[in-house]
Structure 1
Amino acid sequence: MTHPAYTPASLPATRPKTTLPAAGTTGRSRRARSEPMAVRPLRDGRYAVETEGGTYVVALDANACTCPDHRRRRARCKHLRRVALEVTARLVPPPGERTAVCAVCGGRTFVPTAATGPALCDRHALRPGTLVADRETGDRLLVVAATGDRADRVETDEGRLVADYPSNADYGAHEPVFRAVYVDARHRDGEVRTYAFPASRLRRLRHSTAVDGDTDADAGPTPTDTGATPTTA
Structure 2
Amino acid sequence: MSESRTPTQVRKTALAPDVRRLDERAARAWTERMAVRPLGGGRYAVDSASGATYVVDLPAGTCTCPDYQIRGERCKHRRRVAIEITTRRVPAPGKRAAVCDACGVDTFVPESEGAPDLCGACRLEPGDVVRDRETDDRLVVARVTPERAHEVVIEGVGETVADYATNEGYPLDDLVVEAVYLGDLARRESPRRYSFPLSRLQRVDDAAVVDRDLRERATA
TM-score by length of 1: 0.68
Equivalent position to 1:11, from 5, 12, 16: 5
Equivalent AA in structure 2 for residue 51 of structure 1: S
Q: Given the alignment of the two structures, is residue 40 of structure 1 paired with residue 37 of structure 2, yes or no?
A: yes
Higher RCO by CA contacts (8 Å cutoff, separation 6 or greater): 1
List alignment gaps of at least 5 residues for structure 1.
215-230
| 2-structure distance, mates of 1:72, 1:66 | 10
SS across alignment from 1:42: strand
Instruction: Give the RMSD, CA atoms, in angstroms.
Output: 3.6
SS across alignment from 2:46: strand
Checking the alignment, whether the CA contact within 8 Å between 1:132 and 1:142 is kept in structure 2 is yes
Decide whether aligned partners of structure 1 residues 30 and 15 sit closer, same or farther in structure 2, where only a CA change above 3 A counts: same
Decide whether aligned partners of structure 1 residues 213 and 29 sit closer, same or farther in structure 2, where only a CA change above 3 A counts: closer
Decide whether aligned partners of structure 1 residues 213 and 115 sit closer, same or farther in structure 2, where only a CA change above 3 A counts: closer
Q: Given the alignment of the two structures, is residue 107 of structure 1 paired with residue 105 of structure 2, yes or no?
A: yes
Q: Given the alignment of the two structures, is residue 21 of structure 1 paired with residue 20 of structure 2, yes or no?
A: no
Corresponding residue of 1:88: 86
Instruction: Report the Cα offset of residue 138 of structure 1.
Output: 4.8
| 2-structure distance, mates of 1:101, 1:65 | 29
Checking the alignment, whether the CA contact within 8 Å between 1:129 and 1:144 is kept in structure 2 is yes
Corresponding residue of 2:201: 202
| 2-structure distance, mates of 1:204, 1:82 | 36
TM-score by length of 2: 0.72
Matches within 5 A, 1:186-197: 190-191=187-188, 193-197=192-196
> What are the superposed Cα offsets for residues 28-52 of structure 1, whole Å, 9 maximum, x if unpaired?
1222112232211125652121222
Corresponding residue of 1:175: 175
SS across alignment from 1:116: coil
| 1-structure distance, mates of 2:184, 2:62 | 57
Larger relative helix fraction: 2
Question: How many residues end up aligned between the 2 structures?
Answer: 204
Identity score, percent: 39
| 2-structure distance, mates of 1:161, 1:98 | 36
Instruction: Report the Cα offset of residue 157 of structure 1.
Output: 4.5
| 1-structure distance, mates of 2:196, 2:157 | 15
Instruction: Report the Cα offset of residue 80 of structure 1.
Output: 0.7
SS across alignment from 2:9: coil
